[in-house]
Chains A and B, each alone.
Chain A
Amino acid sequence: MKKSIFGWSVLMAVCFVMTIGSLAWGADDIKIGVIGPMQFTQGEGHWNGATLAAEEINKKGGIQVGNTWLPIKLVKVDSNEFLSVPDATNAMELAISRHKVNFLIGGFRTEAVLVMQDIAMDNKKIFIGCGAAHPKLCSRVKENYDRYKYWFRVTPINSRYLVKVDFILLGMVAKIMAMELKIPKIKVAIVAEKAVWCDPIVGIAQKNLPKMGMEVVGVWRPSPVATDVTAELSAIQSSGAHIIFTSFSSSVGITFAKQWGELQVPAAAVGINVEAQKDGFWAATGGKGNYTLTINTYARVRITDVTIAFFDKYSKRFKGAPNYTAGTYEAVYVLADAIEKADSLDPDKIVKAMEKTKRLGTAGTLVFDKTHDVTWGPGFVTAVGTQWQNGANKCVWPLNWQNITYEGAVPYVIPPWVVAHYKK
Chain B
Amino acid sequence: MIQNIIINGLINGSIYALLAIGFSLIFGVARIVNIAHTAFYMLAAYFIYVGFHYLGMSPYISMPLSVLAVGLLSIICYKIFIQPIREHEAAVLIATIALAMVIQEALLIAFGGHYLGVPPLVSGYATIAGVKVTYQHFLALSVAVLALFGVWILLMKTKLGLALRSTAQDREVANLMGMNEARVAMVTMGISVMMAGIAGAVVVPLYVLDPHMWMHPLIMMLAIVVLGGLGSIKGSFVGAYIMAFAEVLVVFLIPMGAFLKGSVALSIMILVLLIRPEGLFGVAFEEER
What mask results when residues 143 to 165 of chain B are scored 1 for a CB within 8 Å of chain A, else 0?
Answer: 00000000000000000000000
B210 touches A231 (CB 8 A): no
Residues of A within 8 A of B203 (CB): 227
A263 touches B132 (CB 8 A): yes
Among the listed stretches B32-40, B64-72, B113-121, B276-284, which one makes contact with chain A, having 4 or more residues with CB under 8 Å of it? B113-121
Q: Which of A221-235 contact B (CB under 8 A)?
A: 221-223, 225-228, 230-232, 234-235
Residue of B108, B206, B251, B255 touching A39 (CB-CB under 8 A): B108
Residue of B1, B119, B137, B257 touching A230 (CB-CB under 8 A): B137
B213 touches A227 (CB 8 A): yes
Given contacts A262-B125, A262-B136, A221 and B257 within 8 Å (CB-CB): yes
Residue of A nearest to B112 (CB): A39
Residues of A within 8 A of B133 (CB): 230
Expressed in whole angstroms, the Cα–Cα distance for A189 and B255 within the complex equals 11
A254 touches B208 (CB 8 A): yes
Minimal beta-carbon separation of A191 from chain B (angstroms): 9
Expressed in whole angstroms, the Cα–Cα distance for A41 and B115 within the complex equals 9
The 7 tightest CB contacts between A and B, nearest first, are A286-B119, A194-B259, A40-B113, A284-B117, A231-B251, A227-B207, A223-B259
What mask results when residues 207 to 248 of chain A are scored 1 for a CB within 8 Å of chain B, else 0?
Answer: 000000000001111110111101110110110000000000
Given contacts A223-B259, A231-B252, A235-B4, A258 and B12 within 8 Å (CB-CB): no
Residues of A within 8 A of B257 (CB): 221
A225 touches B207 (CB 8 A): no
Beyond A221-B255, A227-B206, 15 additional pairs, beta carbon < 8 A: A37-B113, A44-B112, A218-B255, A222-B258, A231-B258, A232-B258, A234-B4, A234-B252, A235-B4, A235-B251, A237-B132, A255-B207, A262-B120, A275-B115, A280-B116
Whether A277 sits at the interface, judged by CB under 8 Å, is no
Minimal beta-carbon separation of A110 from chain B (angstroms): 18
Whether B166 sits at the interface, judged by CB under 8 Å, is no
Expressed in whole angstroms, the Cα–Cα distance for A44 and B111 within the complex equals 12
Minimal beta-carbon separation of B256 from chain A (angstroms): 5
| A side interface size, CB within 8 A | 41
Residue of A nearest to B207 (CB): A227
Residue of A nearest to B137 (CB): A230
Whether A405 sits at the interface, judged by CB under 8 Å, is no
B208 touches A221 (CB 8 A): no
Residues of B within 8 A of A232 (CB): 251, 255, 258
Residues of B within 8 A of A284 (CB): 115-117, 208
Residue of B nearest to A265 (CB): B132
What mask results when residues 75 to 92 of chain A are scored 1 for a CB within 8 Å of chain B, else 0?
Answer: 000000010000000000
Q: How many pairs of residues, A versus B, come closer than 8 Å at their CB atoms? A: 115
Residue of B1, B125, B134 touching A238 (CB-CB under 8 A): B1
Residue of A nearest to B117 (CB): A284
| B side interface size, CB within 8 A | 45
What mask results when residues 1 to 19 of chain B are scored 1 for a CB within 8 Å of chain A, else 0?
Answer: 1001100100010000000
Expressed in whole angstroms, the Cα–Cα distance for A148 and B125 within the complex equals 55
Residues of B within 8 A of A238 (CB): 1
Expressed in whole angstroms, the Cα–Cα distance for A148 and B149 within the complex equals 64
Where the two chains meet, the residues of A that have a C-beta atom closer than 8 Å to any C-beta of B are: 37, 39-41, 44, 82, 193-194, 218-223, 225-228, 230-232, 234-235, 237-238, 251, 254-255, 258-259, 262-265, 275, 280, 283-287
Residue of B nearest to A258 (CB): B117
Residue of A nearest to B123 (CB): A262
Whether B183 sits at the interface, judged by CB under 8 Å, is no
A231 touches B259 (CB 8 A): no
Whether B51 sits at the interface, judged by CB under 8 Å, is no
Residue of B nearest to A44 (CB): B112
Residues of B within 8 A of A251 (CB): 115, 208, 210
Expressed in whole angstroms, the Cα–Cα distance for A322 and B70 within the complex equals 36
Residues of A within 8 A of B117 (CB): 254, 258, 283-286
Expressed in whole angstroms, the Cα–Cα distance for A40 and B108 within the complex equals 9
Minimal beta-carbon separation of A275 from chain B (angstroms): 6
Whether B131 sits at the interface, judged by CB under 8 Å, is yes
Residue of A nearest to B255 (CB): A220
Whether B248 sits at the interface, judged by CB under 8 Å, is yes
Residues of A within 8 A of B258 (CB): 194, 220-223, 226, 231-232
Residue of B nearest to A222 (CB): B258
Expressed in whole angstroms, the Cα–Cα distance for A11 and B252 within the complex equals 78
Minimal beta-carbon separation of A258 from chain B (angstroms): 7
Residues of A within 8 A of B137 (CB): 230
